[in-house]
Amino acid sequence: MSTLHTVNKSAYERNALKSCLDHALPGDAILLIEDGVLAARKGGSIAPALTAAKASCKIYALGPDLAARGIVAGQVLEGIETVDYAGFVDLAAGASRVCAWL
Amino acid sequence: MSDEQAKKKFFYLNRKAPYGTIYALESLEVVLIGAAFEQDVSLAFVDDGVFQLMDNQDAAGTGMKGFSKIYRALGDYEVRKLYVEKESLETRGLSIEDLMPITYEDENEDYAEKPSIILVGKSELAKIIADQDVVMSF
Amino acid sequence: MAGYDVNGATVEHDEEGYLTDIGQWTKDVADVIAKAENIDMTDEHWEVVNFLRDYYDEYQIAPAVRILVKEMTKKYGKEKGDQKALYALFPYGPAKQACKIAGLPKPTGCI
């Protein structure tokens, strides 16, 4: 029944993540990819919004995209799970639909 | 009817203004091609996507192909549900009166013209997304 | 660039024979394109071509075949809005071939 939402734009440049959070229902999964992973770093101004969303949605970030941008394990917001490409596929396969926020 | 059961719900999420990027025009082309497969199609206009439906668009001076009139042909293709998000309009100082009228002809009511644009709130739209089989984003 | 010879002037078309500039269309141009397509324009042909041009003018697209059939039926009745009849007029596809003669771009979704 649930939706996998993907966000590939930086939350500091676009409103894709905000729009995504506004339209995600409890039980949905949100996967940050490409520049979307920038929001997953601790200490950023978007962090409180993501932390609040964690209460009802599961949030993931794509490991290779974090690594490419120099965001290392200890810097990722608590509660955000890092997945690899196979994990991305599993999330998509496990969801009823995938909704991309571009 | 088995035909009805095989129908899938296709949902096109439009979040970009026209002309600045190719997204809006690409979305329209995919919608028109997809309409040939006779699925249950709906479109949503969210964030800057609401600008796609602005009335009085005239692209002539830009040298680009104007495509706003194509939205009015969607009814012919049995695309009759154009959800427009209220909050997105309000944020941009717009109301439904700023959008072009888009209608379809209801064959069950002697081809009466009915509005295709449906104004919805954010939370209502979230539920509509959760009801789709396929979501395509532009 | 290849072109149609219309009364001594050249009207450019693309590699498939569609006009490069829709603004260059005239009835004479249509006759020349039709000849190149081996079609003798009759009133029935013109009805379809004119319908397509009106539709394009209103909606900025050429309609897909099934839309053409539906709308022709609404406007001219079942006899004219018939897929077979339309193919009899334009053997290579009413939308594709008639659009070419009407000076319009190739319809979306038409392969």
B4 pLDDT exceeds 80?
Answer: no
Say yes or no: C67 contacts chain B, CB-CB below 8 A: yes
A22 close contact with B: CB closer than 8 A: yes
Share of chain B above pLDDT 70, in %: 96
B-C contacts (CB, under 8 Å): 37
pLDDT band at A68 (very low <50, low <70, confident <90, very high): very high
Averaged pLDDT, B1-17: 83
When pLDDT is cut at 50, 70 and 90, the band that residue B136 belongs to is: very high
Q: Does domain C3-101 have CATH number 1.10.10.370?
A: yes
User: Catalytic residue among C29, C83, C110, C111, which?
Assistant: C110
Residue B18 with chain C: CB contacts under 8 Å: none
ipTM summary value: 0.94
User: Do chains B and C have 3 or more beta-carbon pairs under 8 angstroms?
Assistant: yes
Answer whether B134's CB lies under 8 Å from B8's CB: yes
> Is C110 annotated as catalytic?
yes
To probe the interface with B, which of C22, C60, C69 has the most B CB atoms within 10 Å?
A: C60
Average pLDDT of the segment spanning B60-83: 95
Nearest CA in chain A to B128: A23
Residue C67: which of C54, C83, C78, C53 has the closest Cα?
A: C83
Q: How far apart are CA A65 and CA C83, in angstroms?
A: 53
Cβ distance C71 to B76 less than 8 Å, yes or no, reads yes
**Residue C108 C-alpha, separation from nearest chain B C-alpha, in angstroms:** 7
Residue A32 CB-density burial (10 A; 0-12 exposed, 13-18 middle, 19+ buried): buried
**In the predicted structure, residue B65 carries a pLDDT above the cut 70:** yes
Q: Residue B10: its pLDDT value, please?
A: 96
**Which residues in chain C are contacts of B33 at CB distance < 8 A?**
108-109
SS3 content of chain A, % helix, strand, coil (to 5): 40, 25, 35
B2 pLDDT above the threshold of 60: no
Mean pLDDT across the stretch A49-70?
98
Tokens representing C107 are 């319809």
Best CA proximity match to B117, nearest among B137, B101, B93: B101
pLDDT given for residue C80 in this prediction: 85
Residues 82-121 of B with CB under 8 A from A: none
Mean pLDDT of all residues belonging to chain A: 97
Please, what are the domains in chain A? 3-101 (3.40.1260.10)
* Interface contact C108-B73, CB threshold 8 A: no
pLDDT tens per residue across span A20-43: 999 999 999 999 999 999 999 999
Report yes or no: B101 at the C interface, CB cutoff 8 Å. no
Measured between alpha carbons, how far is B96 from B90 in angstroms, rounded to an integer? 10
Interchain CB contact of B78 with C (< 8 Å)? no
* Mean pLDDT of the residues in chain B: 94
Nearest chain B residue to C109 by CA: give it: B33
Compute the average pLDDT of residues B93-108.
96
| CATH node for B2-137 | 3.40.1260.10
Mean pLDDT of A88-99: 98
Q: Which of B129-133, B134-138, C95-99 has the lowest mean pLDDT?
A: C95-99
Assess B55–C contact: CB distance below 8 Å, yes or no. Answer: no
At residue B1, the pLDDT reads 46
- Residue A1 has a pLDDT of 74
Q: Assess whether pLDDT exceeds 90 at residue A87.
A: yes
Residue with tokens 């141009």: C29
| CB-based contact A98 B15, cutoff 8 Å | no
pLDDT tens sequence across C53-111: 999 999 999 988 888 998 999 889 888 888 899 999 999 988 789 999 999 988 765 54
> What is the Cα Rg of chain B in Å?
15
